[in-house]
Amino acid sequence: MALTLYGIPNCDTVKKARRWLDEHGVAYAFHDYRKDGLDPVMLDRWVDALGWEKLLNKSGTTFRKLPDADKAGIDAAKAKALMLDQPAMIRRPLVDADGAYNVGFSADDWQQRFAA
């Protein structure tokens, strides 16, 4: 299984997810949004698979710091533009396991999905 973990390295949840993968011997590639960028085509795939509402982290610091005008009237196009401009607004971690996408970290869920 090819597994890619997307996120930012200083995120606590990403740290927990990476630690879990390492401890369970699950091979993965890490894609740092800030360092490696965010491909608009990939974002479109994620939005198609998961929905922009699930991807956009409205409770995160980056989103909360936006001016009220930017937070108002969010639709798919506006959400994509915000996430492309500031990928830290994407809920983390995002996992691509052979084209099956998932966001967030749950040790129990990951045990069932990724542990040998």
Residues, the chain: 116
Q: Is the dihedral of CA 71, 85, 102, 7 positive or negative?
A: negative
Distance CA 54, CA 107 (A): 19
Catalytic-role residue among 3, 4, 8, 11: 11
Residue 40: both structure tokens together: 């608009």
Q: Is 15 a catalytic residue?
A: no
The residues assigned a catalytic role are: 11
